[in-house]
Homo-oligomer: A and B are copies of this chain.
Amino acid sequence: MEYINNPQEIEKRSFEIITEELGRPLPKEVAEIVKRIIHTTADFEYADLVEFKNDAVAKGIKALSEGKKIYADTSMIKVAVNKRAAEMQGVEIVNYVHDEDVRAEAAKRGVTRSTVAMEKALGDEAVGIFAIGNAPTALYRLIEAIQEGKGKPDLIIGAPIGFVGAAESKAALDALDALEVPYIRINGRKGGSPVVAAILNAMLYQLGREW
């Protein structure tokens, strides 16, 4: 059997196909992100679902270039972000969802571990980007805490996926417009960890990439 097996070639050709099939130009500052989401999901619907608010891309890239930490609500985000590209910027991804103290407190209060992990991250000043790919509760908790004046992230990526609360939690980000908090969200039910990682990788690659 014959097939292209050079990863760089495969990615280049994939982006050509995506650009062609999209069939419409995208604003320059978001094009790389939108195309990388489609590359990750093979789902063109994301071009219509992704939304960028409050200078999100510029603010996100700035935070990454300053080596701010990323809080992620799933381990999948952590493994799906390009490790070398993150290291080049000195960016660390933190995730408290499996910590024993988080597990214990969640069980005690009868809430998700994601909610408790999010509260723990809010106490960490070095965290610049909040990347939420799974838990609507984490996104709700984050929005509430920001409204309570407990912090102002450089960027929120709001992409919980699912049938119960996901779409609503992302719609709730509207409340942060008044505070000019930058966010990128996936409207509706879709989203998830690979989509979050695609957004982060697209921003990181604009700062540098090794093959």
Contacts and interface: CB of A to CB of B under 8 A. Distances in A.
A78 B43 CA distance: 23
Interface in A158-211: 161-166, 168-169, 172, 188-194
A165 B6 CA distance: 12
A76 to B, nearest CB: 5
Interface residues of A, number: 46
Contact of A192 (B4, B40, B161, B162): B40
B192 A112 contact: no
Give the top 10 A-B pairs by smallest Cβ distance, nearest first. A42-B189, A14-B163, A75-B79, A17-B163, A5-B137, A42-B190, A10-B164, A13-B164, A3-B165, A5-B111
A14 B76 contact: no
Copies of this chain, count: 2
A42 B161 contact: yes
A87 to B, nearest CB: 14
21 contacts: A1-B140, A1-B143, A1-B172, A3-B136, A3-B137, A3-B140, A3-B168, A5-B112, A13-B164, A14-B163, A14-B164, A17-B163, A17-B164, A40-B161, A41-B161, A41-B190, A42-B163, A75-B79, A76-B76, A78-B79, A193-B194
Contact of A112 (B1, B7, B41, B140): B7
A161 B10 CA distance: 12
A94 interface: no
A78 B4 CA distance: 26
A3 B114 CA distance: 14
Interface string A27-57: 0000000000001111100000000000000
Interface in A85-144: 110-112, 115, 136-137, 140, 143-144
